[in-house]
Amino acid sequence: MNDAFRPRILEGKVAVVAGASSGINLGIAQHLCRAGARVAILSRSAERIEVAARAVSPDPAEAIGFAADVRDYDAVSSVFSRTASRFGPIDIVVSGAAGNFHAPAAQLSPNGFRTVIEIDLIGTFNVLRASFEHLRRPGASLMSITAPGGSHPSMFQSHANSAKAGINMLTKCLAMEWGPGGVRVNAISPGPIAGTEGMARLAATPEREALLKGRLALRDYGSKRDIADVALFLCSDNSRYITGTVIDCDGGSALGDASGDALAPPALAAGKP
């Protein structure tokens, strides 16, 4: 859909997106702003967040950026206080800051494990918890960015998968505790997304990319727009009865390896009914 004709279904709402200096989270922030929300974004690097805020909107009345480390609760809390003072009560929160790398557990340092847990899991708690006093209640929608590894084990990802599993459970616990006050809490689990730093590392060659795509049920990467569309749905009135849910937007990657064409009858392998 041409953005010029897109309904501004979030007109008058205020959103805060953490970890939004680039990638999926920046795409979400841009999408929410196009839909009418005033957006505050935060990330560690002051230089990068200023550039990202202008990419969300060149108008400071529509988008502002703050430098804050999600591991620092006081810094995150300050961002929410300043955002609420400038824009008003907060309707939408997206917690997406993350850190990751591949490492066999036997070679993973305690500091490396701790760092990922602190950024992903503790950072998510800090963002959601710091938002609470400033939320518009009832009606606020909170969401976290998790990953398939939060539910499905994988090699060399004990640190990241542990953090994402914690995010999944945190999502469900907060949905139960904050639901009576009219606050919904959900999570989005992206699969392989084109144009992200993670996929650039995982599929650095065309051969590796073809191999990874061949294992997906839909045989292709998703886009940042795919994830942003799910986020837009979760903070719209269309999802008013959805909470405590982890939504997979992954092309079927959570289903497992779907590269079994050789085992299918010839007509099915060719895509015929």
Q: Is the peptide bond before 60 cis (omega within 30 degrees of 0)?
A: no
> Each residue's pLDDT tens digit in the chain (273 positions)?
455 446 789 999 999 999 999 999 999 999 999 999 999 999 999 999 999 999 999 999 999 999 999 999 999 999 999 999 999 999 999 999 998 888 999 999 999 999 999 999 999 999 999 999 999 999 999 999 999 999 999 899 999 999 999 999 999 999 999 999 999 999 999 999 998 877 777 777 888 889 889 999 999 999 999 999 999 999 999 999 999 999 999 999 888 899 875 445 555 445 554
CA atoms within 13 A on the CB side of 125: 14
pTM, whole model, 2 decimals? 0.91
The Cα 11–Cα 148 span in angstroms is 32
Give residue limits of the domains in the chain: 7-250
What tokens were used for 227?
């994830």
Four-way CATH pick for 7-250: 3.90.1530.10, 3.40.1400.10, 3.40.50.720, 3.30.360.10: 3.40.50.720
In one-letter notation, the amino acid at residue 203 is A
Q: Which runs of E-coded beta strand occur in the chain?
A: 14-18, 38-43, 63-67, 92-95, 141-145, 184-190, 246-249
